[in-house]
Amino acid sequence: MTINFIRPGVTGQTQRASFMAALSLAETLLAETTAIPTHLHVEATEWSPMTPTVRAYFHHDPAAVREFANQFFLEVADSVRADGLVQTEASGRRDGIAVQAWALVRVEDEEMAA
């Protein structure tokens, strides 16, 4: 029995194609947005290679999440977590790829910004 580690299997090919699509979308999002994220994460997991995700994190900046969401027609929700932090999260799809943007702030910071 031999194992060929050089040529990827079907899952590997699908995963690679998903990564490339998500990377292309990430590039487009960055080129078009006025709200530049602190971190941008692209994911296409081995166990779910056909469902890539692009995640944008905005450090302590829920207003930027809302701006990003408005530009790309994402749904926005705010929630208070058990640790007392307010999470602002936007989610939706673009070009068939899941897009998420999020930020965390302390409740006091969110109240001062309002």
pLDDT digits (tens, 9 = 90+) for 19-47: 999 999 999 999 999 999 999 999 999 88
**7 pLDDT band (50/70/90 cuts)?**
low
Q: DSSP strand E in the chain: where?
A: 39-43, 53-57, 75-80, 85-94, 97-106
As a whole number of angstroms, the distance between CA 78 and CA 90 comes to 9
Total-model pTM? 0.84
Q: DSSP strand E in 7-58: where?
A: 39-43, 53-57
As a whole number of angstroms, the distance between CA 72 and CA 97 comes to 12
Percentage of the chain beyond pLDDT 70 is 86
As a whole number of angstroms, the distance between CA 70 and CA 20 comes to 25
- Pick 46 or 76 by higher pLDDT: 76
Domains of the chain as residue ranges with CATH: 8-111 (3.30.460)
